[in-house]
Structure 1
């Protein structure tokens, strides 16, 4: 069974890392150290709901792959400004990157935040060329709750169908420390977010949607993750293997939930960034 720890536990783990300076704000300050104070382009893609995204372009004429990245936060915390380091790092590697907000609990519940994320993906496909990207080389990625959202967009066709797209229109999905198979729900806030209805809960699990119509998946997980157990990624990979669909799994010994995110900025922590970039460029070339 997978476990999601509370924000208090997350804060305690964060405080143990030398990068953090003892608090969440210090953690993100360390990750964003040296980044420009504002991204090149910030705009609202759901203006009625006041939901926005930041675009980190690359130079060129529509030749670069595109990654839409969703942050974690237990579906109830987070903001795109804290993840500028992801956009900067991937753009420097030749990948147009979109870091998108989505509405959070308690403002919304499942599946609204996935629907918001799908709208961001549709926006990225339509506007990729304006920022040097290729619409046919579009990837979805995320960390923790964001990986869950990315996996649902890449496996449950109803979300992209609302925008005239299919999961196969994606070039790939990258999940970093994601919860993909986390029933039964025991925490009160998760039951509030995902409903007490068994059918709704089942629909929220990416593992239940793998049926062969997905793009290639890359699953990255730390074996020492105590917030979202690596068994999530193992079980999702096993489901892909059972139907003969493409998925790659990379497990990092000694790496936990916070460290794997930090490794996107500081590669000495884990090879997460290298593996992600290699996967994107390899599949974009196909």
Structure 2
């Protein structure tokens, strides 16, 4: 993840005598984002909040200016191939979206190999249920909730936006999610070819049930599907195919391609130090504001 930070990691290791040697690239990016001014305009409302039935926890970020509260809500899931990642490493995403005027919830979820599909999605559904029941206490508007994620996190977000039965199982109405943004997500990737996908999904008896494109429906919430020609990890066909299927059904779907950016650069562009890579944050915020309203 975030291979483009490798030289920065090396420089920090050399300067610091190794104190950053074992920090994950996303966590290092969050540290770099904070030093580069990324923390201005937002703050952590709460960290390590318990939710769900398996010891999951979540963090909440908010803008400094809450004069228009209650504010629209974005639930953001991080990537990591369903096998790694943690909410604290993606503080840069929480800060960025909060500065745009959203209450941001970043939940953890269980990982492969301890669990397989659909356990991590069940964790995501429990996060949505927690938001429905509790976000008003933290300045969020439960009537204006969107989902968002990168890579495996985009899979989480889009699957939960499309598969109404999974939300219904935790007491959430099918129309609770009002919009979604998927950054570099896999939505149409069977037959499984990557080691990560094989590990997470191959034991499920009906592969079609693992694919977001299977759940495309006319009444799906509006979705912004971000991809890039430079992404060699999750190919653009995933966003293209799902976008085309939703559009053919009459749903609202927008596919945005950021050309040469690679898989990691798409999410890096949310951070203050790398925002010039592309208008990912601005475009996502504009889409969400359009569909969440005031």
TM-score computed with the length of structure 1 as normaliser: 0.88
After TM superposition, give the deviation of residue 158 of structure 1 in Å: 1.9
Give CA deviations for 1:42-67 in whole Å, capped at 9, x if unaligned: 21112x52210001124246431100
After TM superposition, give the deviation of residue 193 of structure 1 in Å: 1.4
Determine the structure 2 residue equivalent to 1:192.
199
Within the candidate set 270, 273, 283, 1:275 is matched to 283
After TM superposition, give the deviation of residue 39 of structure 1 in Å: 2.8
Report the 3-state secondary structure (helix = DSSP H, G, I; strand = E; otherwise coil) of the residue aligned with 1:49.
Answer: coil
Matching of residue 14 in structure 1 with residue 4 in structure 2: yes
In structure 2, C-alpha distance between the alignment counterparts of 1:238 and 1:31, rounded to whole Å = 35
With over 3 angstroms needed to count, the CA separation of the structure-2 counterparts of 1:107 and 1:60, relative to structure 1, is: farther
Determine the structure 2 residue equivalent to 1:285.
293
Provide structure 1 residue ranges, at least 5 long, that are not aligned to the other structure. Answer: 1-9
With over 3 angstroms needed to count, the CA separation of the structure-2 counterparts of 1:132 and 1:28, relative to structure 1, is: closer
Within the candidate set 125, 137, 146, 1:130 is matched to 137
1:207-222 aligned within 5 A: 207-222=213-228
Provide structure 2 residue ranges, at least 5 long, that are not aligned to the other structure. Answer: 12-23
1:186-265 aligned within 5 A: 186-199=193-206, 201-265=207-271
TM-score computed with the length of structure 2 as normaliser: 0.86
Asked if the contact 2:45–2:138 (Cα under 8 Å) also holds between the matched residues in 1, the reply is: no
Matching of residue 100 in structure 1 with residue 107 in structure 2: yes
Within the candidate set 25, 29, 40, 2:31 is matched to 29
Give CA deviations for 1:192-251 in whole Å, capped at 9, x if unaligned: 31134451x211100111022311101111221011111110011011111111111111
Matching of residue 41 in structure 1 with residue 46 in structure 2: yes
In structure 1, C-alpha distance between the alignment counterparts of 2:194 and 2:288, rounded to whole Å = 35
Report the 3-state secondary structure (helix = DSSP H, G, I; strand = E; otherwise coil) of the residue aligned with 1:240.
Answer: helix
In structure 2, C-alpha distance between the alignment counterparts of 1:152 and 1:182, rounded to whole Å = 13
Matching of residue 52 in structure 1 with residue 57 in structure 2: yes
Name whichever of 127-136 and 229-238 sits farther off: 127-136
